[in-house]
């Protein structure tokens, strides 16, 4: 059984949390005590129906305000797949938490309230999912019960969204009319939408093909930790020196010729070790330990690749940055700490080329700063070379975070462009 990670997105009150509650409930992933607690709270508040959003809105403040503030992670499994759900907030103030939830997603469900149509926040989230290269997108037109399950309304929204999406990088887009509250087309196809010929949402989640979303072509192994046993009486491993990490791309095999960066020295993989014994190959997302035939000085933050397929060694970076700080702004000359794979360095913002208006995708080249939840294209200079790929090619070796050195807060998420 494999794992599908998906995130919900969309504007406030479009029904994201209710949908997750519905999926969990209908797939029998809700336990009796959880349901009882939710029923009790709904009753206490005078809600006539069981408010399924309470299943994921777990914080006191969220339940008091009836909104989602931070991502909730929930889990369920069907005989076909295990699902990890990130239920993200729709409120613009909490966009950074939406970005947190979407960064690891294989699929995003953007909800739209059928009465309201495509809103600014729907466009913002669609843009962010495409920027984060979430490979599969579902547009769920929700609250169909409130528009009499009208096919016409569904088609209108589909057209409007398709027009917007044509300006984004969306490779796989599916439209489904649903009612999260009543369960139409969530787990099984609904009789209320005879005109809809597609599958239910759950059926789609169970069957969407994700195996080929990983990069199995470009060998990338960021060295995370050097393993040198120092048990005094352990002669068997006295000279052991292994390089531990999680494979970020490609397939590695013993005997393969590899290159070490930054040195540029080549060697061969002597063995791929794990606690359970050596393995014949390693690929994403395996965590393994490599040993090499030659003695090379290798430390955390270094990269292993293939001599004929190397990442870019860059001290100057072009990137899209999503700024996530309250208060502090990103401006030219900002100095920040940058973490990319296992390497941490300092970054200087050399230039802010433009700020993006997520509604129109207009580039404002006059912009002089990025504030909370704003997105723009920047040039960075890094104190040490980083080993990067285009984010579009590899999310692991193309993504980085920016940390403010005064507050230690994570203030930016970056995606490498035009690595060359």
Ligand X SMILES: Nc1nc2c(ncn2[C@@H]2O[C@H](COP(=O)(O)OP(=O)(O)OP(=O)(O)O)[C@@H](O)[C@H]2O)c(=O)[nH]1
Q: What does the per-residue mask of binding to other proteins show for 373-402, with x meaning CB under 8 A?
A: ----------------------xx--xxx-
Q: Is 11 annotated as a binding residue?
A: yes
Which of 94, 99, 92, 103 is closest to 70 using CA atoms? 94
What gap in Å lies between CA 131 and CA 122, rounded to an integer? Answer: 14
Q: How far apart are CA 333 and CA 352, in angstroms?
A: 10
Total residues contacting other proteins by CB under 8 A comes to 76
300 binds other proteins per the rule CB under 8 A? yes
Q: How far is the CB of 107 from ligand X (least distance, A)?
A: 17
Which residues, in sequence order, are CB contacts of 210 under 8 Å at separation 6+? 2, 4, 106, 107, 135, 136
Is 286 among the residues that bind other proteins (CB under 8 A)? yes
| 91 annotated as a binding-site residue | yes
Binding to other proteins, residues 45-104 (CB under 8 A): 55-56, 58-61, 63, 69-75, 77, 82, 84, 96-97, 99-100, 103-104
In the bound state with ligand X, the residue whose beta carbon lies nearer, of 90 and 242, is 90
Q: Which residue is nearest to ligand X (CB)?
A: 90
User: Which residues within the stretch 104-143 sit at the binding site for other proteins (CB under 8 A)?
Assistant: 104
When binding is defined by CB under 8 A, the residue of 213, 240, 306, 372 that contacts other proteins is: 240
* Helices marked H in 52-173: 60-65, 95-102, 120-131, 151-165
Distance CA(308)–CA(110), nearest Å, equals: 40
When binding is defined by CB under 8 A, the residue of 46, 166, 191, 211 that contacts other proteins is 211
DSSP calls for 234-270: -GGGTT--EEEEE--BS-B-TT-EEEEETT--EEEEE
Interface ranges with Mg ion (CB under 5 A): 16-17, 68
Look up tokens 């100095």; give the residue. Answer: 335
Tokens representing 349 are: 């913002």
Does 98 carry a binding-site annotation? no
SS3 20: helix
Closest CA to 259 of 248, 269, 270: 269
- The one among 7, 413, 416, 419 contacting other proteins by CB under 8 A: 413
Q: Contact, 193 vs 183, CB < 8 A?
A: no
**From residue 89 to residue 108, what is the string marking binding to ligand X with x (rule CB under 6 A)?**
xxx-----------------
Which range touches ligand X (CB under 6 A), out of 151-159, 174-182, 274-282, 338-346?
A: 174-182
Closest to 136 in 3D by CA, of 108, 111, 176, 112? 108
56-85 binders of ligand X (CB under 6 A): 67-68
8-state DSSP, 392? T
| The only residue of 12, 26, 39, 41 in contact with other proteins, by rule CB under 8 A | 41
Q: How far is the CB of 78 from Mg ion (least distance, A)?
A: 23
- For ligand X, the binding residue among 4, 5, 7, 17 (CB under 6 A) is 17
Whether residue 14 is annotated as binding a ligand: the answer is yes
Q: Is 339 annotated as a binding residue?
A: no
> 47 a known binding residue?
no
Q: Does the annotation list 143 as a binding residue?
A: yes
- Write the CA distances from 240 to 191, 222, 342, integer angstroms: 65, 20, 22
Among residues 63, 58, 91, 62, which one has the least CA distance to residue 73?
58
Binding pattern to ligand X, positions 214-253, x when CB under 6 A? ----------------------------------------
- Work out which of 15, 135, 222, 301 binds ligand X, going by CB under 6 A: 15
Is 87 one of the annotated binding-site residues? yes
Q: What is the DSSP letter of 211?
A: G
- Contacted by 18, from Mg ion, ligand X, other proteins, none: CB < 5 to 8 Å by type: ligand X
CA pair distance 398, 79, nearest whole angstrom:
34
146 binds ligand X (CB under 6 A): yes
- Nearest approach, Cβ of 87 to Mg ion (angstroms)? 6
- Whole-number minimum distance, CB 342 to ligand X, in Å? 34
Residues 268 and 241: their CA atoms lie apart, in Å, by 15
> CA 185 from chain center: how many Å?
26
Q: For residue 312, give the DSSP letter.
A: E
Binding residues: 10-17, 87-91, 142-145
Task: Name the site residues for ligand X (rule: CB under 6 A).
Answer: 12-18, 51, 53, 67-68, 89-91, 142-143, 145-146, 179-181
Binding residues for GTP: 10-17, 87-91, 142-145
């Amino acid at each position: 059984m494999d794992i599908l990670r998906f995130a919900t997105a969309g504007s406030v009150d479009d029904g994201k949390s209710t949908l997750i509650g519905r999926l969990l409930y209908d797939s029998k992933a809700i336990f009796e005590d959880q349901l009882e607690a939710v029923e009790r709270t709904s009753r206490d508040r005078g809600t006539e129906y069981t408010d399924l959003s309470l299943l994921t809105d777990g914080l006191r403040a969220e339940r008091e305000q009836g909104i989602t503030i931070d991502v909730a992670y929930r889990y369920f499994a069907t005989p076909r797949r295990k699902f990890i759900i990130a239920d993200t907030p729709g409120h613009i103030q909490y966009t950074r938490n939406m970005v947190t939830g979407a960064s690891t997603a294989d699929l995003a469900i953007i909800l739209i309230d059928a009465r309201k149509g495509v809103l600014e926040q729907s466009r913002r989230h669609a843009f962010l999912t495409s920027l984060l290269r979430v490979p599969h997108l579902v547009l769920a037109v929700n609250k169909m019960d409130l528009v009499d399950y009208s096919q016409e309304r569904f088609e209108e929204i589909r057209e409007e969204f398709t027009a917007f999406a044509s300006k984004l990088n969306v490779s796989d887009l599916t439209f489904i009319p649903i009612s999260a509250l009543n369960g139409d087309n969530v787990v099984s196809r609904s009789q209320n939408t005879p005109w809809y010929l597609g599958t239910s949402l759950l059926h789609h989640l169970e069957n969407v093909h994700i195996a080929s979303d990983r990069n199995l072509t470009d060998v990338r192994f960021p060295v995370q930790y050097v393993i040198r046993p120092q048990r005094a009486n352990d002669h068997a491993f006295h000279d052991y020196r292994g390089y531990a990490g999680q494979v970020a791309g490609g397939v590695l095999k013993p005997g393969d010729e590899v290159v070490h960066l930054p040195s540029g020295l080549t060697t061969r993989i002597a063995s791929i070790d794990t606690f359970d014994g050596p393995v014949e190959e390693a690929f994403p997302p395996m965590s393994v330990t490599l040993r090499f035939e030659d003695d090379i000085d290798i430390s955390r933050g270094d990269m292993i690749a293939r001599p004929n397929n190397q990442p870019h060694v860059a001290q100057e970076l072009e990137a899209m940055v999503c700024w996530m700080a309250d208060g502090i702004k990103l401006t030219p000359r900002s100095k920040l700490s940058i973490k990319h794979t296992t390497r941490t360095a300092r970054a200087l913002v050399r230039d802010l080329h433009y700020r993006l208006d997520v509604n129109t995708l207009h580039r404002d080249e006059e912009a002089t700063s990025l504030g909370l939840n704003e997105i723009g294209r920047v040039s960075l200079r890094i104190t040490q070379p980083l080993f990067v790929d285009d984010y579009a090619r590899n999310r692991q070796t193309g993504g980085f975070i920016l940390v403010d050195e005064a507050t230690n807060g994570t203030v930016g998420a970056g995606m490498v462009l035009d690595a060359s």
